[in-house]
Chain A
Amino acid sequence: MHDLPWLLKPADDFNNRCARLLNHAAPGAEVRLLANYALSINQSSRLYQTIQQFDPEKRAILSRNLIPFRLGIVSNATMDLMIPAMVTAALRNGIDLEVIAADFGQVAQEAFDPASKLNQSNLDAVLLALDYRAYSFFVNEPGDSGKNDPSLESFDYLQQIRQSFALNGNTICIVQTLAYPPYDLSGNLDAQLDGLLRKSLNAFNSVLAENVTKSVDVLFDVAALANAVGTHQWFDERQWYMSRVPMANRYIPLYADYLAKLLAAIRGKSKKCLVLDLDNTLWGGVIGDDGLEGIQIGQGHPVGESFLAIQQWAKSLKALGVVLAVCSKNDKAVALEVFQKHPGMLLQASDFAVFMANWEDKASNIRRIAEVLNIGMDAMVFVDDNPAEREIIRIMIPEISVPELPKDPSQFLRVLSAARYFEKIDFTADDAQRNAQYADNARRQAMLQRAPSLTDYLISLEMKIHFAAFNETGRKRIVQLINKTNQFNLTTRRYTEADVLGFEKSDRYLTLQIHLQDKFGDNGMISVVICKNAGDCWEIDTWLMSCRVIKRRVEDAVCDELVAIARSNGIKKIRGYYRPTEKNKLVKNHYQQLGFAMVSSDDSEDIWELETRHYQPKYPPITIQT
Chain B
Amino acid sequence: MHQDKAAILDQLKFIFQDTFVDSNLAFSIDTSRDDVAEWDSLSHIRLLTAIEASFDVQFDLEEIVNMTTVATIVDLLYEKLN
- Chain B residues, CB < 8 A from A50: 21
A80 touches B64 (CB 8 A): no
Given A15-B18, A241-B61, A249 contacting B23 (CB threshold 8 A): no
**Docked-complex contact A41 and B21, CB < 8 angstroms:** no
Chain B residues touching A, majority SS: helix
Given the known interface contacts A249-B49, A250-B49, the answer about A42 and B42 at a Cβ–Cβ threshold of 8 Å is no
Which residue of chain B has the shortest Cβ distance to A19 in the bound complex?
A: B23
Q: Which residues of A contact B48 (CB under 8 A)?
A: 239
Interchain residue pairs with CB less than 8 A apart (14): A40-B50, A42-B19, A42-B46, A45-B46, A50-B21, A81-B42, A81-B45, A238-B61, A239-B48, A241-B61, A242-B41, A243-B44, A249-B46, A250-B49
Instruction: Enumerate chain A residues within 8 angstroms of B60, measured Cβ to Cβ.
Output: 238
Within 8 A of B (CB), among A76-109: 78, 80-81
Give the Cβ gap from A22 to chain B, nearest Cβ, in Å.
Answer: 11
Chain A residues within an 8 Å CB radius of B43: 45
Q: Which residues of B contact A249 (CB under 8 A)?
A: 45-46, 49
- A197 in contact (CB, < 8 A): no
B37: interface (CB < 8 Å): no
Seen from chain A, the residues whose Cβ lies within 8 Å of a Cβ on chain B are: 15, 19, 40-43, 45-46, 49-50, 78, 80-81, 237-239, 241-243, 245, 248-250
Contact of A81 among B46, B50, B65 (CB under 8 A): B46
Q: Are B42 and A80 in contact (CB under 8 A)?
A: yes
Q: Which of A42, A50, A81, A242 has the most CB of B within 10 A?
A: A42
B53 interface residue, CB < 8 Å from A?
yes
Task: Name, among B45, B46, B59, B61, the residue most crowded by chain A CB atoms within 10 Å (CB to CB).
Answer: B45
Question: Separation in Å of the B22 CB from the closest CB of chain A?
Answer: 10
Q: Which of A45, A49, A238 contacts B64 (CB 8 A)?
A: A238
Which residues of B are interface residues toward A (Cβ below 8 A)?
Answer: 17-19, 21, 23, 41-46, 48-50, 53, 59-61, 64-65
Give bound CA distance, A248 to B46, whole Å. 10
Give CA–CA (A243, B50) in the complex, Å.
16
Q: Would you give the shortest CB distance from A323 to chain B, in whole angstroms? A: 39
Instruction: Select which of A49, A239, A241, A243 is within 8 A of B21 by beta carbon.
Output: A49
| A239 in contact with B50 (CB, 8 Å) | no
CB distance from A252 to the nearest CB of B (A): 9
Partner of B61, one of A40, A49, A242: A242
Contacts of B44 in A (CB 8 A): 242-243
Whether the Cβ atoms of B49 and A243 lie closer than 8 Å is: no
Contact of A42 among B41, B50, B59, B65 (CB under 8 A): B50
When distances are taken between beta carbons in the complex, the residues of chain A under 8 Å from B65 are: 242
Assembled-state Cα–Cα distance A249/B64 (Å): 15
Considering the complex, give the chain B residue whose CB is closest to the CB of A250: B49
Other-chain contact of A41, B23, B41, B46 (Cβ < 8 Å): B46
Inter-chain contacts of A242 with B (CB < 8 A): 41, 44-45, 61, 64-65
- Considering the chains assembled together, what is the distance between the CA atoms of A145 and B55 in angstroms? 49
Contacts of A15 in B (CB 8 A): 17-18
Least CB distance from B33 to A in Å reads 14
Instruction: List the B side residues contacting A80 at CB < 8 Å.
Output: 42
From B17, B42, B50, give the contact of A78 (CB < 8 A). B42
The residue on A at minimum CB distance from B60 is A238
B58's nearest neighbour on chain A, judged by CB, is: A238
User: CA–CA, A78 to B60, complex, Å?
Assistant: 21
